[in-house]
Amino acid sequence: MNSNLPLLAQGLELAMVNDFTDLDLPVYKNEDTIDLAGETMVFEKACQIALQLAAKTHWSNYHTWRYFRNVPKAEAPQHVSRLWDAVYPFATCLGMASQVTTRLRLALLHDKKLSRFAGKVQLVSDTPAACNTEPGRVRYHCITIIQLSDHVIVIDLVAQPTAFKVSLSSAYKCRENLVPFAMSTGRWCYAYLSGPDHRRALVDCASPPANTDEDMSESRSFPFLDIEGGILKGVVDYAWPAANPTMETPLGRMPWRRTINARGTWDYRPTNLFTAYTTLTDGKYLVDTVSVIVDVVGQELQFQLPYADWLARPEHKVVHDRLMMELTTFQRCRNDTLQDAVVTCSLQLGSSNNVLELPAYGLRDPVIKSLGLLDETCAALGLPECEIMKIGLEVANFWKETLDNFTGAPIPMDLTQWLSSVQDLRRPAADEDVDSLRSDHSDVYLDKDLDSECPSRQNEEVLFDEDAYAARFEDLGLDLERCRFDLDYQDSESYFLRPKIM
């Protein structure tokens, strides 16, 4: 363990000495007899369940937005039993922690030697639910913990795929990860603090991820506390507020950029220093592979893909060359910091000069072709097949829906100008981090036929309906049927009662 970590924890204990009482942090009482062997077995089960779920679940706040975007808050309680089923294999930190908490409790309950530990499994957040009452101003992190005699077990699948222990009055640095699209690395750091009257507190002292102890000590979070109402209430108080559209635009409310971070299983061990991976029990490797930013407002998808350990390998030369040839945004990260760990690229779904072209005409053939290539690439790296294609179609449909429902006619003509004005303010959404923005726009309105604004497309057939799309997909050698998805989610047995991982 890094020798500075106990000092970091002790400094935080002094800084928080009044918080233990003011925040009414719970008192921890040790049992009369400490079962060290049992605690070791609990940790082993926690590691097993964490790794199983990490191998099957991708972090995403795009899919919760997609699910909840047309659901009013009053109806959110009706969705608590189906949300994580509906968005599987994607989840936010809340979804991951909810699944870990449920599975770990069940596993301990069914083990006679460990059943008494089941009640110690906690679903916790570093943000009280009362702070999430204003949609668009939500930031939180959720994890699973088990407080034991002299340490706490933490399962945070965002930070790393394995469970870890944090000793009392010390801290633990999680593995180093490449921060998506930031061209830098960072790590989470947790401190388990001892306070007066046997009170304890777990804090995240590196939020956002940091690399220096100074940064960690200055960025500690609110202490992690139980989510009142547990898993079901967590959906209402955390998932729904964070999933709502949060940017005010000339066409109404639209979402901040949404992010997807995926993992994939490889047969070989990565060699690049900045490719984060975990060795699995079968000798394979669970690797952080793809990151995608879905910029709905900007009508753009951005990708970060592993380069040195994947694209640059001889067996992927065809994909590498096609990406370089078809995407002018293809860019290797050759700097000394990342050493060719990743490549970035982006795909504009509509016209960069006229945001009204996408809702009017749908996806152009070259865009559909590029989506197919990116979909194939991301599927090979761990994302479900057709997921990227679905997202492209969803963004196009969102814009068409938005214009169809726009009641503030005439349509403002300065949408592209407005889009450029907020380009620097839009940013990748961190873990459930969303902000609201109001942008001024001029009083120029579109009072003539839309086709006159798109002279290059005047004589083209409007191909947005599903049948027309199917024909275009067939011409391009793609199968639209495989890209269909059902947004009319039906009641289903809860995910937590029906394990998907054997």
Q: Is 472 part of any domain?
A: no
**pLDDT tens-digit map of 448-488:** 232 333 333 333 333 344 555 556 556 555 555 444 433 23
Do 394 and 243 contact (CB within 8 A), yes or no? no
| Rounded Cα distance, 495 and 282, in Å | 26
User: Region 42-50: what's the mean pLDDT?
Assistant: 97
Higher-confidence position of 432 and 264: 264
Q: Is 481 part of any domain?
A: no
Higher-confidence position of 445 and 123: 123
Q: Is 357 part of any domain?
A: yes
Are both 195 and 303 inside the same structural domain? no
Range of the domain at 391: 246-441
pLDDT attached to residue 403: 84
Are both 235 and 250 inside the same structural domain? no
Are both 174 and 208 inside the same structural domain? yes
| 3 state DSSP class of 437 | strand
Are both 227 and 272 inside the same structural domain? no
Taking 90 as the threshold, does the pLDDT of residue 7 lie above it? no
Q: Is 485 part of any domain?
A: no
Are both 200 and 147 inside the same structural domain? yes
Are both 321 and 176 inside the same structural domain? no
Are both 228 and 336 inside the same structural domain? no
Final residue before a domain boundary, out of 441, 468, 491: 441
* pLDDT-based confidence at residue 27 (cuts at 50, 70, 90): confident
Are both 355 and 285 inside the same structural domain? yes
**pLDDT tens-digit map of 119-148:** 999 999 988 765 655 555 567 899 999 999
| Rounded Cα distance, 300 and 346, in Å | 7
**pLDDT tens-digit map of 225-275:** 999 888 888 888 888 888 876 677 777 788 888 999 999 999 999 999 889
Alpha helices (runs of H) in 211-304, residue ranges in sequence order:
213-218, 230-234, 240-243
Q: What percent of the chain has pLDDT over 70?
A: 72
pLDDT attached to residue 25: 76
Q: HSE, CB side, 13 Å, CA atoms: give it for residue 316.
A: 18
Q: Is 453 part of any domain?
A: no
User: What domain count does the chain have?
Assistant: 2
| 3 state DSSP class of 361 | helix
Are both 194 and 268 inside the same structural domain? no
Taking 70 as the threshold, does the pLDDT of residue 61 lie above it? yes
User: Region 190-199: what's the mean pLDDT?
Assistant: 85
| Rounded Cα distance, 130 and 210, in Å | 27
Terminal-residue alpha carbon distance, the chain: 34
User: Region 301-328: what's the mean pLDDT?
Assistant: 96
Taking 50 as the threshold, does the pLDDT of residue 81 lie above it? yes
Q: Is 398 part of any domain?
A: yes
| Rounded Cα distance, 260 and 151, in Å | 32
Q: Is 82 part of any domain?
A: yes
Final residue before a domain boundary, out of 441, 461, 488: 441
Q: Please tell me whether the overall predicted TM-score, pTM, comes out greater than 0.85 for this model.
A: no
| 3 state DSSP class of 449 | coil
Are both 234 and 290 inside the same structural domain? no
Are both 225 and 324 inside the same structural domain? no
Q: Is 501 part of any domain?
A: no
Longest Cα pair distance anywhere in the chain, in angstroms?
Answer: 82
Higher-confidence position of 431 and 149: 149
Final residue before a domain boundary, out of 399, 418, 441: 441
Beta bridge pairs of residue 194: 200
* pLDDT-based confidence at residue 438 (cuts at 50, 70, 90): very low
* pLDDT-based confidence at residue 496 (cuts at 50, 70, 90): very low
Cα–Cα separations (whole angstroms), residue 235 to 114, 213, 241, 434:
29, 34, 9, 17
**Nearest by Cα to 188 from 276, 259, 128:** 276
Are both 203 and 85 inside the same structural domain? yes
Task: Please provide the average confidence, as pLDDT, over all residues in the chain.
Answer: 78
Highest mean pLDDT range out of 16-25, 61-70, 156-165, 195-204?
156-165
Taking 70 as the threshold, does the pLDDT of residue 360 lie above it? yes
Taking 50 as the threshold, does the pLDDT of residue 332 lie above it? yes
pLDDT attached to residue 133: 58
Taking 90 as the threshold, does the pLDDT of residue 425 lie above it? no
